[in-house]
Amino acid sequence: MPDFSQDFSQPGSDGALPDGFKEWQWGVIYTVRPELLSPLKRGREYRIMAVTRRRVGKDEEFTAYKELYRRAAWMAYARIAELTCADDGEPLHTWVISQSWGCFGKAHRFAAAGVGLGVTFPNTGESLPQGLSPPDPTNLMSPSGAPGVSDPRRLDEIYNEFDVRELPCAHSDIFLFSYGEYVPDHRGMAFDPFVERAEKLAKAHSGADPLRIVRREWMWATNPDVAVVHVYMQV
């Protein structure tokens, strides 16, 4: 079990993964810019991207893109529902800026779908972008093209969900939520708030209540500076 009296002033870890556990098989890689963690500024455009990936058989003719698309859209819209504005006025406006679904890989094949959303609290009378229309269900029976994540430099928040487990496998109930938050300069910063936000999002994404944490890791990734927290949990 993690040591919840841990000192988060330096990179570290607590808890332990079981023997035979294979990492990076099931989880979410999440990255956010701090602007999305505060009330949004009116009139500014923000961008959120969600991608979900699943392992498929090497010779499988995959047609269930509808489920993957819905999952990606749910991740993006669920996060948007939590956003607030710094002042009152016009309601939040969202639009689809990108969407794709398809299969990729040769030795190991994966099916994926991605949805990118624009978000703004518009100024009164401001022209609102309309974006792309959701795909017709019949279009989600076949690939739209190579799926992927938009240019991360233009994104404020990214969810990259993956399930590449080849069942049965050892400890298949352990889920990883990898949290990354951009910071202007990591020097002198403690990890307490990042760990707290990582655990909150891990709980919301997995639906686990209570959160059964197996292991936590916290560290810095530099160039640019990013606070990284890994939360391994049983679900």
Question: What are the structural domain ranges in the chain?
Answer: 17-172
% residues pLDDT > 90 (the chain): 59
Torsion angle (degrees, nearest 10) of CA 60, 61, 64, 68: 60
Measure the N-to-C terminal CA separation of the chain; round to a whole number of Å.
15
- The mean per-residue pLDDT over the stretch 173-193 comes to 93
Residue 216 has pLDDT above 90, yes or no: yes
Asked if residue 134 lies in contact with residue 77, where contact means CB atoms within 8 angstroms, the answer is no
Confidence of residue 147 (pLDDT cuts 50, 70, 90): very low
Q: How far is CA 188 from CA 34, 183, 184, 185, in A?
A: 17, 12, 11, 8
Residue 146 has pLDDT above 80, yes or no: no
Torsion angle (degrees, nearest 10) of CA 46, 152, 225, 179: 80
Residue 90 has pLDDT above 60, yes or no: yes
Predicted local confidence at residue 226, as pLDDT = 95
Confidence of residue 123 (pLDDT cuts 50, 70, 90): confident
Predicted local confidence at residue 100, as pLDDT = 92
Residues 6+ apart with CB under 8 A from 217: 12, 13, 228, 229, 230
- The mean per-residue pLDDT over the stretch 206-231 comes to 91
**Tokens read off for 68:** 């993957």
Predicted local confidence at residue 156, as pLDDT = 95
User: What DSSP character marks residue 81?
Assistant: T
Confidence of residue 153 (pLDDT cuts 50, 70, 90): low
Residue 149 has pLDDT above 60, yes or no: no
Asked if residue 69 lies in contact with residue 115, where contact means CB atoms within 8 angstroms, the answer is yes
Asked if residue 174 lies in contact with residue 26, where contact means CB atoms within 8 angstroms, the answer is yes
